[in-house]
Chain A
Amino acid sequence: MSVTLDEWFVVLLARTIRPSETVFHGFGSPCAQVAMHVARGTHAPDMVLVEGATYAVNPEPLFIPPTGNDASLTRGAAYTMRFEEFFDAAVRGDVDRMFLSGGQIDGFGNTNVTAIGPAGRPKVKLGGGGGGCNLAATIRHLTLWTTRHRSGRTLVETCDFITDMGHVTPLGTRAELGYTGGGPEWLITELGVFDFPAGRARLRQIFPDVSPAEVRLATGFDLEVAGDLRPVMPPSSAELAVLRAVDPLEVRRSEFSSSELSRAFTASAEPDCAC
């Protein structure tokens, strides 16, 4: 069974979703968007999937378009929330998980999607945070991801600007800030998988073609490595089948550099299990 890096990466995002969770992705997030459908089509059939910028609940799109608020994403939806219905649900604590990315991500899971360099006169003005600086406070769990870890510029010691709050900000911990959400639970990169024991990112799993030294070189914060560091679990054939069916336009690939897209693997026979 052959699998490309982008496919495997999306499957790892999907596996961060627990059965029956209510899950949301922001716009401009094709990997997370496809991952939610992979989860719903495999291990989490009872999840409540809230689709990006359309706020469609449990839609069954025939393809994922390159924009987050196209009507194709509402096909077969049980319901389409108004903007305010979704944000109300999220801030009152009814949303279990959100996917968040960042041009910069620090070891506490703070993310920057606003600006590189000083905010008043940025070196690079990024697009902006959408709803993140409120949603990150109250949504129960966050799955962070980046496809640009290897650049060395993404996982940083300190974000130039904190758009969305991780476990600890300069103003304090989540408990001190009165936040009801639990903060980042996972960080998935094209090199490996991090968890956040005690609120700091820790390398837990690694892709088979990547060494811990490569991860260390690409990581700007002090790299903690789990004592039982393992290879990431290969995708199941069921996960790959759902993924390929829901993303025929391969919009997920737009998140990766061409060199990462050339990474291909032959997965050994694995149990058809996402556990």
Chain B
Amino acid sequence: MSLQPRRDKRAALADAVALVADGAVVALGGGLSARLPMAMVRELIRQGRRGLHLVGSAHSIDVDLLVAAGAVRRCEESYVGFEQDLGLAPAYRRAAEEGSIEVAESCCATILAQLRAAEMGLPFLPVRGVRGSDIGRLHPEYAEITCPFTGETLVAVPALRPDVALLHAPAGDRYGNLHLDQPYVLDERFASAARTVIATVDELTSSDEVAAAGVTIPGHLVAAVTEVPYGAHPSSCYPRYAYDRGHLREYVTAAQAGPDGAAKYLAAYVHGTGSEAGYRAAVGADRLSALGAWRESTAAWKGLFA
């Protein structure tokens, strides 16, 4: 497929997310508590998507919510959880233990190699690790090879070409040029490796403003862009907002109570809200704007996490 020509790529969230088919291999941008594509995750759930194969590095509520909603067939991340702070991912854990999803746990460095192979149009790249780890047993597609130059045994991992990458950025223009703050995590790699890239931005700005801030992901890799304020909430999207630890705790507590608890959360914040405007109203404007307090002072920033 050619690069995306320059055109106005603005789309309604529902139309952009409709580009994701049931059963698609979906790469999730951001990581842990930062810049997760949550507005698109919620819209996928509202649209009743099923059978997704999720790929990514270290993730949390994005994967867990999709699993809780029954949208996922297979998970291929290096980590899914809420770190030491809030612990294991409740729905992901439950589904893995019940056997209702396939978990092909992977490794950040392996996924990176697989994406780079796709970016370069190669069928595979080798990695030096993995052997001796049982992670390899979860991936019958890996193969041992002998280096023709050194004779070393290495592990060949196949190219990973996601059907679609879902990325969230603080700012972008109508042509899909995106500016991101660090950590970029795998977003740049996903953008080149995926067949289709869909982006949400907290704010659509002029091309001059994006250029001045720095284009992290060029529009020629992006198929559709949608403005969704607080589109990464409850994860962070600096410099606009810190992550909402209290909301994450609310979710984890609900989902830990079992499928009914997760369903109540989904009813309150996803199905019942109808749209992202409804989601923002359910969370509350004051609560959302308070997440910008990080820039006021160290005490205010620290206060968000206390």
Contact = CB atoms under 8 A, between A and B. Distances in A.
Contacts of A129: 78-79, 105, 107, 133, 135
Contacts of B239: 71
Interface stretch (B158-166, B178-186, B221-229): B178-186
A269 B8 CA distance: 70
B129 to A, nearest CB: 3
B233 to A, nearest CB: 14
A177 interface: yes
A162 B32 contact: no
Interface stretch (B18-26, B90-98, B197-205, B206-214): B90-98
A164 B129 CA distance: 10
B109 A134 contact: yes
A71 B134 contact: no
Size bracket of the B interface: 35 or more
A71 B238 contact: yes
B130 interface: yes
B105 A80 contact: no
A170 B136 CA distance: 13
Contacts of B116: 84
Interface string B224-248: 0000000000001011001101000
A211 to B, nearest CB: 29
A125 interface: yes
B127 A134 contact: yes
Interface residues of A, number: 66
A172 B132 CA distance: 7
A138 B128 contact: yes
B110 interface: yes
B30 to A, nearest CB: 9
A216 B134 CA distance: 28
Contacts of A84: 112, 116, 189
B58 A27 contact: yes
B194 to A, nearest CB: 16
Contacts of B183: 53-55, 69, 80, 83
The residue in B78, B181, B184, B236 that gathers the most chain A C-beta atoms within 10 A of its C-beta is B78
A82 interface: yes
Tell which of B78, B81, B182 has the most Cβ of chain A within 10 Å: B182
A229 B60 CA distance: 42
A132 interface: yes
Contacts of A53: 31-32, 34, 58, 183
B47 interface: no
Given A66-B305, A134-B109, A134-B127, A128 B80 contact: yes
6 contacts: A63-B302, A71-B239, A71-B242, A121-B99, A138-B128, A171-B132
Interface of A: 27-30, 53-56, 62-63, 65-72, 74, 80, 82-84, 87, 90-91, 114-115, 119-138, 161-165, 169-172, 177-180, 248-249, 251, 254-255
